[in-house]
Structures are given as structure tokens and as C-alpha cells.
Amino acid sequence: MEITKKHSFHGELTVPGDKSISHRGIMFGAISNGLTEVTNFLQGADCLSTISCFRQLGIAIENDGSRVLVHGKGLRGLKKSELALDVGNSGTTLRLISGILAGQSFQSVLNGDVSIQKRPMKRIFTPLSEMGARFQCWDAMHFPEHPIKSSSGRAPFTIQGGNLKHIHYQSPIASAQIKSSVLLAGLYGDGITRVTEPVLSRNHTELMLAGFGANILSTETTAAVWPEPVLEGQSIHVPGDISSAAYFIALGLISPNSELLIQNVGVNPTRSGILKAALAMGGNLTLLNERTVSGEPAADILVKSSSLHGTVIEGSIIPTLIDELPVIAVMASFAEGSTVIKDAQELKVKESDRIASVTENLMAMGADITPTEDGMIINGGRSLHCARIRTYGDHRIAMSFAVAGLNADGETSFDDENCVTVSYPSFYQDVERLLK
Ligand SMILES: O=C(O)C1=C[C@@H](OP(=O)(O)O)[C@@H](O)[C@H](O)C1
Ligand SMILES: C=C(OP(=O)(O)O)C(=O)O
């Protein structure tokens, strides 16, 4: 596939359902009593991995391509899977399911793709072990034919769960995956489990678990969950994913004479830092029709071409736009002046090292970018030219550089453009449709 400069983008679009909320709908439905219906479910590879893991754990799940029905079996209704659970490319699946499996009396084996096998899991082993779960990592090269014990702190690994104690975990990292994993294990604890984070991360778990009937309380950066709730199946309508809308926000802002209306996007303040960052850069963005969908704030976002300028992105806003930083870096390359991104060392442990992958590709396109230990500095305003993009199999890198390529001279090509199926299977078709 080659991408060339296009002049402007116009029209209305809806982006697919939110990935974080889709995962949680399946997981919480599986451990609730009765039927959970998830509409506008994201049919991306990551969320399909969550469905297949819970099917392996004995949960009947019907998926007609949009609506998903989960026949929940209650907190203690999961069955041991004889085969390893394969989370594919999905860190959210792996870390959240581990919290649930920590509470089961059986053993589970978890594995995923080569990217997952590089991602750090000690961050969940530490609190879940403190609660009483036991973990054993295996050497990925020889697994499963010749299981060799490893101390890698990465997948593949075995969890032996059961008889959990409650804890108050002071997480060193602002991570919704760590927080959610501990809170889910806390459902099986012997008292109130609390998680305190340095900065508040996305709170979809707290909002949705409360909707299923859990007793859960959030105060600033601490969330507390009471054990042994009776969870009841729910109807969840998933709002559009702001992380997917981000590519169209960037495209609308940096492409000349463009105007896009992105409908029904989740704008939970713990997720929507990109809106604040884009406004700080001088972006013409308006939120319309603000409403609540299944307990989550949603709105339509009107985006118009803008002359952007640089900004500083640091501190407590970082967890609210962590997945959007690659496309924000692309926006910054089209802005006048410098943009400084700090406190974002978590970028190094996503599907790729996103400080390195963003830097490499933006440099290849002629941008002025310097990587730092915890972010990057971009001196914008240079015109970009085509390059062959190395995605490292990372969906967010592919989509961010599609946005760059649509505003760069020449033919931009990709080593693997298909990795977008992880979170946005119809991405290229949606871009095509909005071309004026
Ligand atoms: O909880 C979630 O759904 C997610 C949390 C974030 O990860 P961390 O918790 O590792 O920051 C984010 O990057 C990921 O895409 C989804
Ligand atoms: C980091 C991401 O997802 P996960 O951690 O679930 O793989 C992402 O979608 O950008």
C-alpha cells in the first residue's frame, strides 16, 4: 500500500467501539450472573482475543459481528482451560484476565504474540503475588514443547490462583491495566482491596464494575473494591474509541481546508487528554451533543483545519493521552515551534518502543525530532517527505504514519499496514471515504 498527499478531508464518520470498554464488557459479563449484551463492540483482533480466552474458560459468547452476548456464570463459574490462553497482541487482555485468574482455584497458562512476550508483567506479578497468587514464567523460545523455567517476568507464564488476601497497593506506575488487574483480583479477596496510583489512569473498570453491581469507591487516585459482590449481567453500549478518533482529529487539524464531524466518541476525562493537547496547540475543535452512554461521557467532535503551534505535554495529562502520543507527535511535526513531551516513559513498553518507533519514522520523513528518556522534543514546521515506514507490527504506528503520509510529499509505504486490525480494521476505508 502507498499513501500520497491528499488535499482535504470532509464529512461525518463514526469510529469503531472503544477497545478498553469492549474488553471490559466481555470480562465483567463473564464473571456476572446471566446475560450481558455488548453493542457497538470493537471487532478488532485484541477484543476478539478476549472473547476467545473467555470461551476457553467455559463461557458461551455469541458474536454476530456487532452485538455480543455473554452468558455469564458468576464470580466462580469459570472452568480451567487445558490449553494455554492466547491473548494475541493484547496487553489489556493479558493483564486484566490475570487479575481474574488470580482469584480462581485452578491453574492457567497465558501466552501471546512476539510483541506480548516482550512486555513487562512483573508490574502485575508483584501485587497479585502479594495477594497470594503464584506465577511461573517460561522461556518463550521453547514453549510449550520443552518448558524451561525462566525469570523473565514476561509471557508465557502460569498462574496458580485461589485464596486471595486483600491489599492496599501503592502502584509505582499510573496504569489502568495494573489498577484493573488488582481490583479484579480484589473481587476474590478477604477484605477491601485498594489501589493508589501516582496519577489517575483511565477509570473504565471502576465505572463499569459499579454498573454490574460491585461495591467500588473512587477518591482521587485511590480505588477501593469490596470482595464477593453479586454481579448481574448488563446491557452495555460501547461509545466510539477516542484513541481511534485521534487519527481523524489529527488529520482534520493538519490537512488544509478540512472539516470532519466524528460522531459518538467516548470523552471520559481520564481518556480524552488529546482534546486538551490539541486545543493547547491552537486546534479548532468543538464538542457537540455531550451525553452519557452506559455510564461513560460521549460527544460528537467537530474538527476544522488549523494552524497549530507547539506545546508542552507533561505530568498528570500523560495517562489520559498515552496511546495518542504517536499521532500527537505527528501533529507536532506540522505545528510551528517546538513541542516537548515528558513523563511518558511508559511509551517504551507498548506494542513497540513508541519513543524509538515514532522517532525513527518521523526522522525518515524529514522531521526534526529528538528522543529523550521519557518522551521527545519535536521542532515542527518542516515539510515532510515520504518514507518507508517501519511499523514494528504496532497498529498505532501504522495509523499515525498514515496520517503523516497523507500530508507528506511522495509515496509513503509500510512494512506491515495490516496491523491496524488490532484496534481499527476499517481504518483505511474510512480515510478513503472522507477524501474530498
Ligand atoms: O486499561 C486499558 O484498557 C488500557 C490501559 C493503557 O495501558 P497501561 O495501563 O499499561 O498504561 C493503554 O495504553 C492501553 O491501550 C489500554
Ligand atoms: C497499548 C495498547 O494496547 P494494549 O496494552 O492492550 O496492547 C494500545 O492499544 O495502544
pLDDT tens profile 230-254? 999 999 999 999 999 999 999 999 9
Site residues for ligand 2, CB cut-off 6 Å: 46, 90-92, 323, 350-351, 396, 423
pLDDT band with cut points at 50, 70 and 90 for residue 4: confident
* 323 assigned to active site: yes
Q: How far is CA 434 from the centre of its chain?
A: 25
Name which residue leads in pLDDT, 87 or 7: 87
Closest atom of ligand 1 relative to the 180 alpha carbon: 1
Q: Whose CA is nearest to atom 2 of ligand 2?
A: 350
Closest atom of ligand 2 relative to the 322 alpha carbon: 10
pLDDT score at 105: 97
* Of 15, 13, 393, 9, the residue nearest 240 (C-alpha): 15
pLDDT tens profile 29-87? 999 999 999 999 999 999 999 999 999 999 999 999 989 999 999 999 999 999 999 99
Site residues for ligand 1, CB cut-off 6 Å: 20, 92, 175-177, 180, 201-202, 322-323, 346
> All domains of the chain, ordered by start, with CATH?
2-16+239-433 (3.65.10.10), 19-237 (3.65.10.10)
Give 134's strand partners. 160
Q: Whose CA is nearest to atom 10 of ligand 2?
A: 323
* Of 151, 154, 204, 209, the residue nearest 175 (C-alpha): 204
Integer Cα distance of 390 and 124 in angstroms: 30
Tell me if ipTM is over 0.90: yes
The pick from 18, 20, 90 for probing ligand 2's pocket by mutation, whose C-beta has the most ligand atoms within 8 angstroms, reads 90
